[in-house]
Structure 1
């Protein structure tokens, strides 16, 4: 799977956002590979992720991966800038768009929705959500024909769905499907003004 991620492009993004600044052991590439392994193996905790890495330690060299400690990975996840990974998403999306012809948007159906991820309040106080709980929302624009997300935004859990998509680019002739959480007047007016089609 790492063959789909151009290492030089990834490093360019890391350098741009100074992701490896003051890093002594765990580089952003090592962090990325570790998290990818965790995602693919269904690890539900950092401890489980490290166990998966240790089981396959003989393959670390071929992945360009060094030894990863749980505490170091936890610190990296907490402190590292996320902008490099955000940039990687859109870089990979642009490559997919060229291969699949996703630029031809007229007549397409695109789905808009959000999901909330609960977080530990003591560690993520900035992500205000409920009285005794922190959380973030991921707001997603999904293309069902290409079977891929084509836009996303992360916000604190309390941010309303309609407010989070104010920066979303919309295109004439596209049918946007969403639920009533997005029924804000300005948002609907922008869709109509741009010749979009609406489905609730």
Structure 2
């Protein structure tokens, strides 16, 4: 049995086909500077879930999870300057549309939790 951490399980809920389609629509990996859209998403989710306050914390904390990065779908932790650059220049609509696509996907799959999903749509 493979031991997968909780963060990897959360990432597995994201439909990669939907994400790849949105990346191609927004052409967000065109000038990636070594940080793909997926790595950017993983970094920002990691930031949010670990309650980090700075880009330095994101970079350092991701470096400390070296053994688990392959489970997250990233090859290595990026520097704080690259993460900061992508936060400034990558189109946020990619992530906004991913959010609403995932909500719609969950809406169709899970009828029992529609009340909670309705509050998330707001």
- Do the structures match in fold with TM over 0.5? yes
- Structure-to-structure mapping, 1:50-89, within 5 angstroms: 50-67=59-76, 68-89=78-99
* Aligned counterpart, 2:21: 12
Offset from partner CA, 1:143-164 (integer Å, 9 cap, x none) = xx3164113xxxxxxxxxxxxx
- 1:7 deviation in Å? 1.0
TM-score where L is the length of structure 1: 0.51
For 2:41 and 2:51, the matched residues in 1 are separated by 15
* Aligned counterpart, 2:3: none
Do structure 1's residue 146 and structure 2's residue 120 form an aligned pair?
Answer: no
- The answer to whether the 8 A contact 1:37-1:49 is kept is yes
* Aligned counterpart, 2:6: none
TM-score where L is the length of structure 2: 0.82
For 2:56 and 2:32, the matched residues in 1 are separated by 22
Query: Which ranges of structure 1 fall in alignment gaps of 5 or more residues?
Result: 103-144, 152-200
For 2:19 and 2:56, the matched residues in 1 are separated by 26
Structure 1 segments, 4+ long, off by >2 Å, are none
Number of equivalent positions: 109
Root-mean-square deviation (CA, aligned residues, Å) is: 1.5
- The answer to whether the 8 A contact 2:33-2:82 is kept is no
- The answer to whether the 8 A contact 2:26-2:94 is kept is yes
Do structure 1's residue 100 and structure 2's residue 111 form an aligned pair?
Answer: yes
- Structure-to-structure mapping, 1:95-134, within 5 angstroms: 95-98=105-108, 99-100=110-111, 102=114
For 2:55 and 2:98, the matched residues in 1 are separated by 23
Structure with greater helix percent: 2
* Aligned counterpart, 1:176: none
- Structure-to-structure mapping, 1:32-51, within 5 angstroms: 32-51=41-60
Query: Which ranges of structure 2 fall in alignment gaps of 5 or more residues?
Result: 1-9
For 1:58 and 1:34, the matched residues in 2 are separated by 16
- Which structure has the bigger radius of gyration? 1
For 1:97 and 1:6, the matched residues in 2 are separated by 14
* Aligned counterpart, 2:40: 31
Bigger relative contact order, structure 1 or 2 (CA pairs below 8 A, ≥6 apart) = 2
- 1:48 deviation in Å? 1.1
